[in-house]
């Protein structure tokens, strides 16, 4: 059976835009069938588009032809419907729907296209396996929740563009086919047919080009840009992702942070109607580790880490005393009211910290006048009194202890803190707590490579007062870097850049990048720096991760229209796929056959 032709019929309204104000008007809507209900003579159809659902009422006495067509209609058919907006009969109003007070009395119905029975219901309530959702992503994207996510993403991008334009930024596109400079994550490589044997790399970031734009005198640049990293994936990572990328000349880091706070405040106001309090708090990297164990702390709840190394250094508990003697850390966490956790829970916490390299976890349940714990016997009454006071321990509390190297003790207990915040319901998705983290180490020592590596990237400037340390003790130099953390997730990171070629060359030396290698990889940047490069700095925000938080989504895939799986595949298009031998020959590429 042929479908109806649209002809001269013109859509006047979207389904979800109709209200009681249109009662009495002749209108035309178009969309997909959510459901059809046959009440004997009357047929009701819920018609859906991206703005919502409207009820169509078809009466055979009003238009027999349309009623007969309605009898054929099934879920996901595409319809056009013309009629008069009317109030729903008494007793049939649906207060849960935006359009629940009205319906359209149909005088003309067109079936624009039919649909096979879909593999799942397109609604808010049906649970569908993610692999099925991704295979039929075009159906998944019809679901109201995902459509709201995509429309909010559009609103955020629009808000960002408007804000940056008001602040004097210029949007400039940078190359997608660029040069491989393997110093961070693995590049995605693209073979060149014209230059056989050579490869482009897809950009992990527009970093070098945006610095060159500052040398070019554009002063303020931004871009909403696709980036690519060939790395192991997880719930908040994708092989291709989107950045809000910015760079500014003649600024210090405080100015960069101030302008970016204004942008984030505009986004939250537009997307959620939330007024953010500015300026946002700021923590140094050292303070973040000391208080929270990690450099991306969740500030929606307290439960800070307490250093008790000095208090237990002379105790009879050898595990604590030996770690203290070896220069390690002993830290504790007071979980208020946590004494109700079972032994199974405590064993689970121990398994959790082992993920981060910890050997174990000591625990104490604070009871009336005593500690209930296998380690209680190793402490004197005076020691218990001191620890109780320092940890603000009260009856019913659970004390958790970690003794290890500083890096393991901080991270393992810090990650456990975040895990407990989720488990205890402290991490409310409707609460938004920001903090800047500053003064990161410039470098860290890589024991396997036997060299320093950049904590952020090789173009990050050291604090001016720490420049002499590059020659005497580079591991102690701090960076002019800053991360913006929201609810325990880093949503943006940036730095003031090195604009002096001699400092940049020294940085490459410290990273074990010799002069010849630096020339090969970054010669164009080194050349640019000698032609009047201004002081400059910038930041990049992960748009996908920010959208996860704004929409309350649990997976980054719910805020990307066509995402990849955790194996970096697209179930919809079946990418990546094999290509034929002719294409490979043109590219000068030969695949290595698998050994039997």
Give the integer Cα–Cα distance in Å for 31 and 54.
10
Tokens of 257: 């942070």
pLDDT above 70 (res 182): no
Q: 126 and 120 in contact (C-beta within 8 Å)?
A: yes
Backbone φ and ψ for 247, nearest 5 degrees, come out as: -150, 145
pLDDT above 60 (res 313): yes
User: Would 225 be classed as within a structural domain?
Assistant: no
State residue 22's pLDDT score: 95
More confident residue, 134 or 232: 134
User: Would 418 be classed as within a structural domain?
Assistant: yes
Give the residue from 401, 427, 453 where a domain finishes.
427
User: Would 56 be classed as within a structural domain?
Assistant: yes
Count of domains in the chain? 2
Pairing of strands 102-113, 52-58: parallel
3-state secondary structure 78-143: EEEEEEEEEECCCCCCCCCCCCCCEEEEEEEEEEEECCCCCCCCCCCCCCCCHHHHHHCHHHHCCC
Give the integer Cα–Cα distance in Å for 106 and 55.
10
Pairing of strands 434-438, 398-404: unpaired
Tokens of 20: 């009681």
Average of per-residue pLDDT values in the chain: 94
State residue 357's pLDDT score: 96
State residue 232's pLDDT score: 77
State residue 231's pLDDT score: 83
- Segment 539-561, tens digit of pLDDT: 999 999 999 999 999 899 999 99
User: Would 350 be classed as within a structural domain?
Assistant: yes
Give the residue from 49, 80, 113 where a domain finishes.
113
Question: What range defines the domain where residue 364 resides?
Answer: 301-427
- Segment 403-453, tens digit of pLDDT: 999 999 999 999 999 999 999 999 999 999 999 999 999 999 887 878 888
Across 316-320, average pLDDT: 95
User: Would 242 be classed as within a structural domain?
Assistant: no
| CATH number for 326 | 3.30.1360.30
Q: 255 and 212 in contact (C-beta within 8 Å)?
A: no
Give the residue from 392, 427, 462 where a domain finishes.
427
Across 193-202, average pLDDT: 94
pLDDT above 80 (res 234): no
State residue 496's pLDDT score: 97
User: Would 324 be classed as within a structural domain?
Assistant: yes
Pairing of strands 536-542, 489-496: antiparallel
- Segment 472-501, tens digit of pLDDT: 999 999 999 999 999 999 999 999 999 999
User: Would 559 be classed as within a structural domain?
Assistant: no
| CATH number for 47 | 2.40.50.140
State residue 594's pLDDT score: 65
State residue 8's pLDDT score: 87
Across 233-246, average pLDDT: 87
Tokens of 59: 């009466």
- Segment 276-298, tens digit of pLDDT: 999 999 999 999 999 999 999 99
State residue 596's pLDDT score: 45
State residue 4's pLDDT score: 87
User: Would 222 be classed as within a structural domain?
Assistant: no
Across 233-248, average pLDDT: 88
State residue 183's pLDDT score: 58
Pairing of strands 188-191, 282-284: unpaired
In order, the DSSP letters of 406-454 are: HHHHHHHHHHHHHHHHHHTT---TT---EEEEE--BSEEEETTTTEEEE
pTM score, whole prediction: 0.92
- Segment 22-65, tens digit of pLDDT: 999 999 999 999 999 998 889 999 999 999 999 999 999 998 99
């Amino acid at each position: 059976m042929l479908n109806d032709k649209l002809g001269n019929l013109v859509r006047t309204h979207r389904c979800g835009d109709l209200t009681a104000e249109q009662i009495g008007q002749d209108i035309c809507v178009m969309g997909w069938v959510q459901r059809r209900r046959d009440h004997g003579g009357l047929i009701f159809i819920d018609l859906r588009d991206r703005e919502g659902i409207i009820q169509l009422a078809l009466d055979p006495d009003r238009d027999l032809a349309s009623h007969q067509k309605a009898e054929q209609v099934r879920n996901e058919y595409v319809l056009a419907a013309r009629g008069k907006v009317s109030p729903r009969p008494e007793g049939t109003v649906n207060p849960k729907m935006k359009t629940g007070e009205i319906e359209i009395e149909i005088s003309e119905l067109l079936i624009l296209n039919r649909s096979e029975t879909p593999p799942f219901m397109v609604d808010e309530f049906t649970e569908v396996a993610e692999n099925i959702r991704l295979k039929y992503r075009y159906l998944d994207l019809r679901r109201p929740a995902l459509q709201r996510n995509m429309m909010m993403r559009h609103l955020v991008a629009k808000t960002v563009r408007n804000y940056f334009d008001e602040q004097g930024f210029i949007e400039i596109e940078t190359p997608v086919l660029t040069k491989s400079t393997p110093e961070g994550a693995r590049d995605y490589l693209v073979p060149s047919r014209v230059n056989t044997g050579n490869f482009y790399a897809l950009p992990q970031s527009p970093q070098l080009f945006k610095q060159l734009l500052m040398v070019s005198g554009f002063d303020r640049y931004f871009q909403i840009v696709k980036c690519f990293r060939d790395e192991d994936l997880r719930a908040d990572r994708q092989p291709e992702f989107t950045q809000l990328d910015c760079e500014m000349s003649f600024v210090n880091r405080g100015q960069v942070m101030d302008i970016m706070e204004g942008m984030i405040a505009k986004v939250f106001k537009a997307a959620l109607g939330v007024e953010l309090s500015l300026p946002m708090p700021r923590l140094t990297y050292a303070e973040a580790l000391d208080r929270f164990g990690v450099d991306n702390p969740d500030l929606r709840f307290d439960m800070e880490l307490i250093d008790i190394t000095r208090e237990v250094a002379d105790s009879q508990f050898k595990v604590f005393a030996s770690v203290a003697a070896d220069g390690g850390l002993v830290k504790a966490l007071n979980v208020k009211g946590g004494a109700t956790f079972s032994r199974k829970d405590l064993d689970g916490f121990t398994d959790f910290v082992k993920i981060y390299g910890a050997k174990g976890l000591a625990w104490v349940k604070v009871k009336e006048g005593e500690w209930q714990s296998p380690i209680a016997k190793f402490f004197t009454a005076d020691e218990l009194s001191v620890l109780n006071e320092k940890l603000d321990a009260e009856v019913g509390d659970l004390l958790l202890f970690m003794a290890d190297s500083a890096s393991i003790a901080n991270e393992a207990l810090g990650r456990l803190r975040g895990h407990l915040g989720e488990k205890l319901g402290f991490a409310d998705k409707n609460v938004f707590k920001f903090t800047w983290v500053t003064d990161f180490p410039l470098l860290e020592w890589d024991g396997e490579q036997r060299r320093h590596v950049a904590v952020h990237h090789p173009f990050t400037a050291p604090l001016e007062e720490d420049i002499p340390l590059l020659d005497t003790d580079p591991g102690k130099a701090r960076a002019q870097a800053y991360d913006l953390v929201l609810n325990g997730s880093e949503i943006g990171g940036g730095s003031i850049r090195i604009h002096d070629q001699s400092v940049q060359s020294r940085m490459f030396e410290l990273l074990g990048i010799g002069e010849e290698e630096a020339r090969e990889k970054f010669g164009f940047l080194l050349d640019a720096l000698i032609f009047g490069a201004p002081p400059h700095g910038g930041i990049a925000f992960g748009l996908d991760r920010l959208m996860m938080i704004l929409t309350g989504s649990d997976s980054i895939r719910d805020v990307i229209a066509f995402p990849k799986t955790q194996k970096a595949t697209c179930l919809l298009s079946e990418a990546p796929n094999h290509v034929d031998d002719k294409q490979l020959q043109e590219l000068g590429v030969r695949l290595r056959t698998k050994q039997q």
